[in-house]
């Protein structure tokens, strides 16, 4: 199972909480402002290195304190591994299995975690940033080569952009192009391969949740079919003007289509939520095929987000996913939710198993 136990210290309103979790459904019940979302936020941070509701890390540290700590035992791998984070102003220390970790990718590998929260619809509605992150998180977990490709690409991109900002001559600029183009094309191929794997599960889940076909179309970030090296060479004038490289997978996106038309700006807020939920669930399904029994899905007050019929359909899909669930709710009953393994009461930053 993903997390066997989890300890949160000085994170938002949670001074110190320690939980033993069940491998199936964990339900957290409590009134408003009791700390339910904060707990999910802390779990998400352990696997992702960021919050899902705030860009600032400092705001996560309990008022009056100087750091927060998160510790969890991931039991999904071959042997249980303790993951730890200590985050203070400007300092983050990561530990995996007792040793210092180099980066969040190492943590992420042990705890794939996904969230369905009130911002869910933004995956469909907003700009490409969220969709790229969604895509890359999925590829990262099923394609072992992806992290290396991503790092190679971004290292070359940083160098080329730095040359552009400094207004360096053509030779200094194009020196990066072969590496950038090779890594960029590889990155796009890996994304595309992943989207092919996602297509089947997405179709099934989309039908069940929306009664319509859901499709994802890869947008590579430069003219489809044209070698990236050529595109880079052809775009130098524009790159100089913007002082940044305009073509490549860092500008990539995925088009979300519902029943054969682009969803963005057309479908209702309710449909956006269901579409985004379909994407996330399909992603977890692919991940579970590849590395079973590792992932967790956090559902933040799902009853506030979806009508009862949609919630029941969502839950019937989730029931087939053998992921660990963390569900928050104001009430002890959530429509369609399978029988919880564990129920916790949350009140004024304290979490008690009941
Ligand atoms: N850095 C912080 N330090 C202390 N308390 C905080 C911090 N950030 C938020 N809070 C408080 O935490 C409380 C719980 O919030 P939240 O987890 O969103 O509750 P719930 O999801 O149960 O409604 C809120 O009252 C909020 O003011
Ligand atoms: Mg909340």
C-beta of residue 243 within 8 angstroms of C-beta of residue 165: yes
Residue 191 pLDDT > 80: yes
pLDDT confidence band for 171 (50 / 70 / 90): confident
Predicted TM-score (pTM) above 0.85 = yes
Question: In angstroms, what is the span from residue 180 Cα to ligand 2's centroid?
Answer: 42
Pick the residue whose CA is nearest to atom 24 on ligand 1.
Answer: 33
- Give the chain's end-to-end CA distance (angstroms, integer): 21
Show the tokens assigned to 336: 């369609």
Torsion over CA: 191, 192, 193, 194 (sign): positive
Dihedral angle, C-alpha 207, 116, 282, 292, nearest 10 °: -140
Residue ranges in 243-336 assigned as alpha helix (H): 269-290, 302-305, 308-318
C-beta of residue 273 within 8 angstroms of C-beta of residue 267: no
DSSP annotation of 132: H
- What confidence score (pLDDT) does residue 265 get? 77
Instruction: Please choose, from the candidates 80, 61, 64, the residue with its C-alpha nearest in 3D space to the C-alpha of residue 6.
Output: 80
Question: What is the percentage of the chain residues whose pLDDT exceeds 70?
Answer: 99
Pick the residue whose CA is nearest to atom 12 on ligand 1.
Answer: 13
Question: In angstroms, what is the span from residue 330 Cα to ligand 2's centroid?
Answer: 9
pLDDT confidence band for 332 (50 / 70 / 90): very high
Question: In angstroms, what is the span from residue 62 Cα to ligand 1's centroid?
Answer: 9
Ligand nearest the Cα atom of residue 67? 1
Backbone angles phi, psi at 117, to 5 degrees: -135, 180
Mean predicted confidence (pLDDT) in 125-130: 94
CA distance 5 to 19: 5
CA distance 220 to 106: 27
Mean predicted confidence (pLDDT) in 310-328: 93
So where are the chain's domains?
Answer: 1-112+295-354, 119-290
Instruction: Please choose, from the candidates 133, 151, 233, the residue with its C-alpha nearest in 3D space to the C-alpha of residue 191.
Output: 133
Question: In angstroms, what is the span from residue 7 Cα to ligand 1's centroid?
Answer: 17
Atom of ligand 1 nearest to the CA of 346: 22
CA distance 176 to 189: 20
- Convert the pLDDT of each residue in 343-352 to its tens digit: 999 999 999 9
Question: In angstroms, what is the span from residue 63 Cα to ligand 2's centroid?
Answer: 18
Question: In angstroms, what is the span from residue 117 Cα to ligand 2's centroid?
Answer: 9
Average the pLDDT over each of 22-31, 199-208, 261-270, 297-306 and give the range with the smallest value: 261-270
Pick the residue whose CA is nearest to atom 25 on ligand 1.
Answer: 33
Q: List all residues 6 or more positions away from 229 whose beta carbon is below 8 Å from its beta carbon.
A: 177, 178, 181
CA distance 348 to 35: 7
C-beta of residue 123 within 8 angstroms of C-beta of residue 276: yes
Question: In angstroms, what is the span from residue 145 Cα to ligand 2's centroid?
Answer: 37
pLDDT confidence band for 77 (50 / 70 / 90): low
Atom of ligand 1 nearest to the CA of 65: 3
CA distance 9 to 15: 5
Q: Which of 10, 11, 12 for a ligand 1 pocket mutation test, highest count of atoms within 8 Å of Cβ?
A: 12
Show the tokens assigned to 259: 């029943």
Show the tokens assigned to 246: 């305009």
Mean predicted confidence (pLDDT) in 262-272: 88
- What confidence score (pLDDT) does residue 264 get? 84
Q: Directed axis angle between helix 177-210 and helix 308-318, to 10°?
A: 120
C-beta of residue 344 within 8 angstroms of C-beta of residue 26: yes
pLDDT confidence band for 227 (50 / 70 / 90): very high
Fold of 1-112+295-354: Rossmann fold (3.40.50)
Tell me if residue 47 falls in helix, strand or coil: helix
Where does 119-290 sit in CATH, by number?
A: 1.20.1050.90
Pick the residue whose CA is nearest to atom 11 on ligand 1.
Answer: 13
Residue 207 pLDDT > 70: yes
Specify which residues 329 forms β-bridges with. Answer: 29
Cα of 54 vs its chain's centroid, Å: 14
pLDDT, greater one: 259 or 79: 259
CB contact burial 50-78 (16+ within 10 A = b; e otherwise):
ebbbeeebeebbbeeeebbbbbbbbbbee
Beta strands in the chain (DSSP E): 3-11, 14-20, 25-29, 67-74, 81-88, 91-96, 99-100, 113-116, 214-219, 253-258, 261-262, 296-299, 324-329, 342-347, 350-353
Residue 78 pLDDT > 70: no
Tell me if residue 161 falls in helix, strand or coil: helix
Residues in contact with ligand 1 (CB, 6 Å cut-off): 12-13, 30, 32-38, 59, 61-63
Question: What is the percentage of the chain residues whose pLDDT exceeds 90?
Answer: 88
Ligand nearest the Cα atom of residue 38? 1
Residue 1 pLDDT > 90: no
pLDDT, the chain, mean: 95
User: Dmax over Cα atoms in the chain, in whole Å?
Assistant: 67
């Amino acid at each position: 199972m993903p997390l066997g136990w989890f300890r949160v210290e000085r994170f938002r309103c949670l001074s110190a909480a320690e939980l033993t979790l069940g491998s199936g459904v964990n339900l957290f019940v409590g009134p408003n402002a009791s700390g339910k979302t904060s707990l999910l936020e802390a779990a998400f941070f352990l696997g992702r290195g960021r919050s899902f509701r705030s860009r600032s890390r400092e705001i996560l540290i309990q008022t009056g304190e100087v750091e927060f700590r998160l510790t969890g035992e991931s039991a999904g791998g071959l042997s249980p591994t303790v993951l730890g984070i200590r985050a203070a102003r400007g300092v983050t220390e990561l530990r995996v299995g007792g040793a210092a970790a180099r980066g969040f990718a190492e943590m992420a590998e042990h705890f794939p975690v996904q969230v369905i929260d009130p911002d869910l619809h933004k995956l469909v509605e907003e700009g490409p940033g969220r969709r790229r992150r969604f895509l890359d998180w999925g590829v990262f977990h099923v394609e072992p080569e992806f992290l290396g490709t991503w790092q190679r690409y971004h290292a070359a991109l940083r160098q080329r952009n730095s040359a552009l900002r400094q207004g360096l001559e053509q030779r200094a600029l194009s020196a990066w192009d072969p590496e950038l183009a090779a890594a960029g094309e590889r990155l796009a191929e890996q994304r595309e391969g992943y989207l092919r794997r996602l297509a089947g599960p997405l179709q099934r889940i989309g039908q069940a949740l929306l009664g319509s076909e859901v499709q994802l179309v890869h947008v590579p970030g430069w003219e489809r079919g044209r070698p990236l090296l050529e595109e880079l060479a052809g775009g130098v004038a524009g790159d100089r003007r913007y002082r940044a490289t305009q073509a490549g997978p860092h500008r990539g996106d995925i088009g979300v289509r519902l029943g054969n038309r682009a969803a963005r700006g057309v479908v209702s807020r309710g449909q956006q939520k269901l579409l985004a939920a379909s994407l996330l669930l399909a992603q977890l399904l692919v991940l579970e095929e590849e590395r079973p029994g590792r992932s967790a899905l956090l559902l933040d007050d799902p009853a506030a987000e979806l009508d009862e019929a949609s919630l029941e359909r969502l839950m019937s899909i989730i029931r087939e996913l053998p992921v660990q669930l963390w569900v928050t709710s104001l009430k002890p009953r959530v429509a369609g939710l399978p029988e919880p393994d564990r129920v916790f009461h949350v009140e004024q930053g304290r979490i008690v198993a009941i």
